[in-house]
Amino acid sequence: MHFRHADAIWSDYPELTAGALYATGVGAGVDVGPRAAAYTARAAARLTGATESAFPEVLAWRRAFSRMGLKPTQYRCAAESLLRRLRKEGTLPRVHPVVDLCNAISVAYAVPVAVLDADRIAGPLLEVRHARGDERYTTFGGATEHPAPGEVIFADSAGRAHARRWTNRQSGHSAVGEHTSTFFVVAEAMHDDGAQAVPELLKTVAEELAAHWPSADPTAAVLTSSSREFVFGC
């Protein structure tokens, strides 16, 4: 399987730094609560001094959303949404140990992280690109939507969209569940220090997966305009 961002994305958003990670042999029967709590505590401490809307990581994504013609407060990047929930409710939702870890790491770094069931992605290509309008997106309620032409989506070779509006929220089709064992993770940053944050974030995710699931064997890569593709699951 190949993962990449389309040339038009790199052209329009040269400030983007992206990271991808693939791991297998990861099950649901592990307690990640203490580690997730440590990362959310880092985010909570930062939120005591400012709201998430003032974070440079979030502001960079808000600018990107504005350039896409979206209202930044109507469609928020995944990190902003999680930080907002953490600030208001003091906690994050519990979904699956891998998702819980990645959500906690996401708020710690204020960088959006998507977690997909890799077995639900149709190869040979998963691409971040502008929608044509004929792609299919499955909501969590099971309904089928068609992204608007020009919308930034995660699209596979079967024409299925796994995320809409570049919000890094997975579709109902590729959502992680109790029986998921093969994971694909994407982290994307737009802010000035993204080139430092994304590799560190990926390293953190890989270390946590290896610590909790010794057989996970995660592989990862940082993607930039000069190194655009990650090959996984071969």
Q: Does position 170 have pLDDT exceeding 80, yes or no?
A: no
% of the chain exceeding 70 in pLDDT:
99
Residue 73 pLDDT level (bands cut at 50, 70, 90):
confident
pLDDT of res. 134: 97
CATH number at residue 117: 3.50.40.10
Task: Tell me the C-alpha distance between 151 and 68, whole Å.
Answer: 8
pLDDT digits (tens, 9 = 90+) for 81-109: 999 999 999 999 999 999 999 999 999 99
Task: Tell me the C-alpha distance between 36 and 2, whole Å.
Answer: 30
Q: Structural domain of residue 137, as residue ranges?
A: 2-231
Q: Helical H runs in the chain?
A: 7-12, 33-47, 56-67, 78-89, 97-109, 194-212
pLDDT digits (tens, 9 = 90+) for 50-68: 999 999 999 999 999 999 9
Q: DSSP string covering 96-156, please?
A: -HHHHHHHHHHHHHT--EEEEEGGGS-SSEEEEEE--S--EEE-TTS-EE-PPTT-EEEEE
Q: From residue 99, how far is each of 18, 40, 136, 142, 152 by CA, in Å?
A: 18, 13, 24, 20, 22
Number of folded domains that form the chain: 1
Burial class (CB in 10 A: 0-12, 13-18, 19+), 93: exposed
pLDDT digits (tens, 9 = 90+) for 175-219: 999 999 999 999 999 999 999 999 999 999 999 999 999 999 999
- C-alpha torsion angle, residues 114, 115, 117, 118 (rounded to 10): 70
Sign of the torsion angle spanned by Cα atoms 47, 48, 51, 54: negative
Q: Does position 118 have pLDDT exceeding 70, yes or no?
A: yes
* Comparison of pLDDT for 225 and 152, the residue scoring more: 152
Residue 72 pLDDT level (bands cut at 50, 70, 90):
confident
Of the candidates 24, 61, 18, the residue with the CA atom closest to the CA atom of residue 154: 18
Residue 168 pLDDT level (bands cut at 50, 70, 90):
low
The mean pLDDT of the chain is 95
End-to-end CA distance of the chain: 7
If you ran DSSP here, which 8-state letter would residue 178 be given?
Answer: T
Report pTM. 0.96
The residue whose two tokens read 């389309």 is 6
